[in-house]
Every structure is written in structure tokens, then in C-alpha cells.
Amino acid sequence: MASKVPNVVLNNGKNMPIIGLGTWGSPTGEVAQAVKDALDIGYRHIDCAFVYGNEPEVGEGINAKINEGIVKRDEVFVTSKLWNTFHRPDLVEGALKTTLKNLNLSYIDLYLIHWPMAYKEDGELFPKDDKDQVLYSDVDYLDTWREMEKLVDAGLTKTVGLSNFNARQVDRVYEAARIKPAVIQIECHPYLNQKKLSAHCAAKNITVTAYSPLGSPNRPWAKPEDPNLLNDPKIVAIADKYNKTTAQILIKYQVQRGHVVIPKSVNKNRMKSNFEVFDFILTDEDIALIDSFGRPDGRLVPLTGAYGHPHHPFEKDEY
């Protein structure tokens, strides 16, 4: 019998499982099996994105388990994201339809604007000039959001939200929105605990999804000297206290904050372990201690290549 996971109720009344499987950086050739294993274990939430380049495999895994009768379509919460080169209003619906074709699904549960910055359309996913600078588009994400709302009207996605937006940008969308964003997906872990942004979004009934909750140890640009959250002695000490893995402590930290959390793995044993966090509770003291681990260099996914873009979320704003 697969484990069951609690849901968070979104501001539109939809249920979102509090733990999902992340697929960013999962190696091609391993993702379909990882999704199948996750659904067998009891995961009912799969997070993907067009730019990850593995949506067809994610879809293969989901559909295999639907066809086997392990899950029904309405039991799996599927998230994907609109990439930066498709912000122009005439491209938004087509981008989601491409994702649906990749996934071999008729709708998804949540569609996010992946980043607030628009890139030059009609070419590469990371368009660059001859000096290796990213080429921008001047599309305003408010115009993109209006098209996102139409995708809900059309039944192509049940829910819409944001990813990597700062508080000021969230407010700007929220105030202009006919359909309010239900979710914001942000990098969140003890080195970047996002307390201010989390509280800001909670006040607007926007659910936080924490990505890179384990500190993204496999990020391609990691340097050997960078801090490794999973091996942090302070996290190890808490894990030892509860006889848990450091990953389980980091996942539980997000769950107890009311955050949805999407740890990535393609290893079945680790996926199972990541799911087994409902038989213990961190104390208020534990949470306060973990909250204190923030670092000035804590952001691990800064997207520095797009610094200079007028809508870059991390350059000027505090949170």
C-alpha cells in the first residue's frame, strides 16, 4: 500500500499534495522510471517545466501508471512552467499546448510563469548575442498573466501561479489579476529561508512551493568549496537527534512551515525516504535554530546570466 501525503488547499479550493517530486536536472533516460517509482511509492504531485527538456519522459511515467490502474488522472497533481521566451501574449497558449502534448495530458493542475523576465522570442530558449549576453524581450509579465488567466478559462490548466517573483512583482500581479495567483514557487532552504517573502505571500493566501529544499547539491555550477546543506554539521546534529536523514529534516522543515516541497531524486530508496517525514515533529526550537542558518551567499539559483534585465527579481529588491 502506497503512503499517503497531506494536501494543502489552494485559494481556488483545489488540493495540492504537500510533497511532490521535482524533475529539474533529472538525467534524460532516468526521468520516466523516477516518475513511475514515485507514483508507486505514493507521490501524487509531479513538478516539471518545459525548459527542463524532459516533459515527454515525465508524461511517459504518468501515463504508464494511469494505464496500469495505479492512479487515475485526477489523483495526480501535475505542475509545469511557461518559459521566458514564450511571455509574448500570442505565444502563451501555444506554449502550454506544447507542454500538454509533451506530457500526453489534456490539462495540467498548475501552470506557473517560470521567471518574471521575458527573453527574445522565436529562437533559442537561451537567446544570446555575440558577446554571450542574454537577449531580452520587452514583454511585461502583466500582459503574460492575462493570457495565463485565459488558460484557466479554456480548461487547459486548473490553477495558475508564479515562480521566482519577488514581493513587489507578486503584488503587481495580484493587484491586476482577475484570477489571483494561487502558488509561488521559490528557492527555499535553511541558507535562504525566505521568511519575509513567505509571510508576504501567506497574507495574500498564496501558497509557497519550496524548490531546491535540499540545497540543490547537483546544480551544474556548484563549486567544490560551496557549502553543502545535506552535510551541514548543524543539520546532521538535528537528524541524529531524530534518527532521520538530513534530507528528511530539510523536507520536514518546509512541511511544518506550510510550504509545499518538491525534492528531486531519481533514486527509488531516496524518494521513499524523502516521503517518510510524517512520523516525527520538529520542535519550535529546532525550527528557530534552522531559521538561523541563513547566509549572504545562500541563493544557489541566482540566474546571474540575466542580470540587467529590468524584471530580474533578485538584483535590487530585498525579497
**What pLDDT is stored for residue 217 in this prediction?**
82
**What pLDDT is stored for residue 118 in this prediction?**
97
| Residue 114 counted as an annotated binding residue | yes
Torsions phi, psi of 9, nearest 5?
-90, 120
Segments in the chain below pLDDT 70: 1-3
**Which grid cell sits at 298?**
545562500
Q: Which residue, 73, 110, 81, is CA-closest to 98? A: 81
pLDDT tens readout for residues 248-257: 999 999 999 9
**What pLDDT is stored for residue 2 in this prediction?**
62
Q: Which residue, 209, 82, 85, is CA-closest to 148? A: 82
**What pLDDT is stored for residue 261 in this prediction?**
98
**What pLDDT is stored for residue 215 in this prediction?**
92
pLDDT tens readout for residues 256-292: 999 999 999 999 999 999 999 999 999 999 999 999 9
| Residues 6+ away with beta carbon under 8 Å from 255 | 18, 19, 261, 277
Q: Which residue, 219, 112, 218, 209, is CA-closest to 157? A: 112
Strand partners, 209: 185, 260
- Pair 200, 32: CB distance under 8 Å: no
Instruction: Return left, alpha or beta for 113; rule: phi > 0 is left, psi -120 to 50 is alpha, else beta.
Output: beta
The single-letter code of the amino acid at 226 is: D
- Pair 35, 62: CB distance under 8 Å: yes
The single-letter code of the amino acid at 257 is: R
How many other C-beta atoms are found inside a 10 Å radius of the C-beta of residue 165?
26
**What pLDDT is stored for residue 161 in this prediction?**
98
Instruction: Indicate whether this model's pTM tops 0.85.
Output: yes
| b/e code 38-61 from CB counts within 10 Å (16+ = b) | bbbbbbbbbbbbbbbebbebbbbb
- Pair 138, 169: CB distance under 8 Å: no
CATH match of 7-306 with 3.20.20.100: yes
Q: Which residue, 45, 72, 108, is CA-closest to 275? A: 45
Report the DSSP pairing between strands 7-9 and 15-17. Answer: antiparallel
**Which grid cell sits at 308?**
540587467
**What pLDDT is stored for residue 81 in this prediction?**
98
Catalytically active residues, by annotation: 52
How many other C-beta atoms are found inside a 10 Å radius of the C-beta of residue 104?
14
Alpha carbons 52 and 25: distance in angstroms, whole number: 7
